[in-house]
Amino acid sequence: MFPLHRGRRLRTNESIRSLVRETTLSPSDFMFPMFIAEGENIQVEIASMPGIFRRSIDLTVKEVIELFDLGIRAVNIYVKVGENLKDNTGKEAWNKDGLMQNTIRAIKTSCPEMIVMPDVALDPYSIYGHDGIIERGDVANDATNEALVKMAVSHAQAGADFVAPSDMMDGRVLRLRQGLDAAGFQNVCIMSYSAKYASAFYGPFRDALDSAPVDSTEIPKDKKTYQMDYANRIEAIKEALWDVEEGADMVMVKPGIAYLDIVREVKNAVNVPVTVFHVSGEYAMIKAAAERGWLDHDKIMMEQLMCIKRAGASLISTYFAKEAAILLKK
């Protein structure tokens, strides 16, 4: 009756463990989120995200080249625009000479093979901090979609490989696909934030872009009317399937570690690659615990990234991308 099968045989040493390892990580599994600021030679560390910076375009380009040399093949970019450029229409979002558009051009000129996925949402450009246009006290879905199409086409004109709508408006993937195709950008891909939850894990990100909703009794105080309820599972599958039907080339689940059950559900449901966003709050918690000596930074970082990949991620958008790539190179 003594067991003939001993699982420990395949755990005897690292050589055997690596031989039978089911999941592996490489730098090409990562996408690095980058924050862009106006000016030259600007690099400002984000207080709630140690090691992450808002950079001007010139320093962003230098960083992109370093990332590419490490084997990272994609960046997801966000811009911090001046208050004087914000309004309720988001029109700065499709300015052909805007900060985002100039950043895309600079990156593609200096590092043509780096895949650039600019964020498509109006919150950095909104006086209200919401992802869309405010009408009658709420975010207007269809009017916002029209603005997002203009924004996405301007990104494609600047050289973006993907557009990455993070707004969670209904029907926006179809409108973006139609708009891109009509403008002659049939080969520009769409990575849709399909299952983006209304999460408290985004706090440091909003510090980085100053994009939190403003405190007003006249508009929604948060983003729960368009981002998903974190109590829901089936809704995530439905949203991802809708986006694929509307033309999404990739779908995203956001946040990451706290939502790995959703990652697996979506992975099982769709026939396109699944991206997972390992978000700012998840990054900040590891940094804070490691600074206090409570956790081993590198071991926790790699364990979390491996778990996200194991759950079904084809691509991981993570602020740890550069650190993890350096560690993997060693």
pLDDT digit string (tens) for 131-164? 999 999 899 999 999 999 999 999 999 999 999 9
Q: Which domain holds residue 278?
A: 25-329
Inter-residue contact 41 to 58 (CB < 8 Å): yes
Contacts of 317 (CB under 8 A, 6+ apart): 30, 31, 32, 33, 76, 252, 275, 276, 277, 278
**Average pLDDT of the chain, as a whole number:** 95
pLDDT digit string (tens) for 188-238? 999 999 999 999 999 888 777 776 677 776 788 899 999 999 999 999 999
What total of structural domains would you count in the chain? Answer: 1
| 80 belongs to the catalytic site | no
pLDDT (0 to 100) of residue 208: 75
CA-to-CA separations, 330 to 66, 290, 297, 321, 327, in angstroms, rounded: 16, 21, 16, 14, 5
pLDDT (0 to 100) of residue 54: 96
**Residue 1, domain member (yes or no):** no
**Residue 2, domain member (yes or no):** no
| 196 belongs to the catalytic site | yes
In sign, the C-alpha dihedral spanning 229, 234, 236, 241 is negative
Six-digit token string for 143: 């009017």
> CATH number for the domain including 307?
3.20.20.70
* 113 appears as a binding residue in the annotation: no
Considering 108, 196, 223, 287, which one is annotated as catalytic?
196
Six-digit token string for 145: 């979609």
**Residue 15, domain member (yes or no):** no
**Overall average pLDDT of the 72-81 stretch:** 96
Record the pTM.
0.95
Considering 86, 223, 254, 267, which one is annotated as catalytic?
254
SS3 letters for the chain? CCCCCCHHHHHCCHHHHHHCCCCCCCHHHEEEEEEECCCCCCEEECCCCCCCEEECHHHHHHHHHHHHHCCCCEEEEEECCCHHHCECCCHHHHCCCCHHHHHHHHHHHHCCCCEEEEEECCHHHECCCCCCCEECCEECHHHHHHHHHHHHHHHHHHCCCEEEECCCCCCHHHHHHHHHHHCCCCCCEEEEEEEEECCHHHHHHHHHHCCCCCCCCCCCCCCCCCCECCCCCHHHHHHHHHHHHHCCCEEEEECCHHHHHHHHHHHHHCCCCEEEEECHHHHHHHHHHHHCCCCCHHHHHHHHHHHHHHHCCCEEEECCHHHHHHHHHC
**Residue 112, domain member (yes or no):** yes
**Residue 214, domain member (yes or no):** yes
Distance, in Å, from the CA atom of 77 to the CA atom of 315, rounded to the nearest integer, reads 15
**Residue 223, domain member (yes or no):** yes
**Residue 122, domain member (yes or no):** yes
The confidence band for 11, taking pLDDT boundaries of 50, 70 and 90, is very high
pLDDT digit string (tens) for 86-114? 999 999 999 999 999 999 999 999 999 99
pLDDT (0 to 100) of residue 203: 86
**Residue 17, domain member (yes or no):** no
pLDDT digit string (tens) for 301-322? 999 999 999 999 999 999 999 9
